Amino acid sequence: MTPTPLYGRRESRGAQLWAEQSVAPYDGRTYYGRPAIKPSHYKWLISCYLFVGGIAGASQIIAAIADLFGGKGDRGVVRGGRYVALLGALLSPVFLITDLHTPKRFYNMLRIFRPTSPMSIGSWTLAGFGALSGVAALGQAIEDLTGGGGAGRWLARLAGLPGAAWK
């Protein structure tokens, strides 16, 4: 047996065998006949819940930033953001409770805080954000009805900042 030179060698025998083997293309089946990724059991209600909740949270954040750093010309953005956040905070539980099929399940998720459960965390987030958005929208309504700042703007800002951070 003659030793093979270290330099100038093109391919090893293993690479030649690998190239000679024909590999069948993947046909989508696994060893056990099950798909590699399980299909999601969430339907359109959870998708709407997440979308509406995202719009509500973003609206509250934009309203809080415009309230803190904006001028008089940005009051319409603040007003709209707070009302959209309230609307989203009212619609999101409807989608979530409808998907749970029983209103008692939502109550049971609020009864015990379980940090390992995404649904428990979502329920608590939704409850806190909804309460803070409601208070911020109430303050905004008081400001709109009285025609100026004062207690309404103070109340809206006091609840709007934590509401933006909560979501």
Query: What is residue 29's predicted lDDT score, i.e. its pLDDT?
Result: 66
The whole-model pTM stands at: 0.72
**DSSP string for 82-102:** HHHHHHHHHHHHHHHHHHHS-
Q: Residue 26: what pLDDT?
A: 64
pLDDT given for residue 19 in this prediction: 56
* pLDDT tens series, the chain, 167 aa: 555 555 555 555 555 555 556 566 666 666 677 777 777 777 889 899 889 999 999 999 999 999 999 888 898 999 999 999 999 999 998 998 888 888 888 788 888 888 888 878 888 888 999 999 999 999 999 999 988 778 888 999 899 989 888 87
How high is the pLDDT of residue 11? 54
8 A C-beta contact, residue 70 and residue 160 = no
The pLDDT assigned to 114 comes to 86
pLDDT of residue 84: 97
CA 165 to chain centre: 14
Place of tokens 């030793």: 3
Per-residue confidence (pLDDT) for residue 139, from 0 to 100: 93
pLDDT in the model for residue 64: 94
- Domains along the chain? 44-166 (1.20.1630.10)
Supply the pLDDT for residue 103.
Answer: 81
Residue 71 is given by DSSP the state -
pLDDT at 90: 95
Token pair recorded at residue 118: 């995404």
Q: What is the pLDDT of residue 21?
A: 60
| Per-residue pLDDT, 22 | 59
Both structure tokens of 152: 């309404």
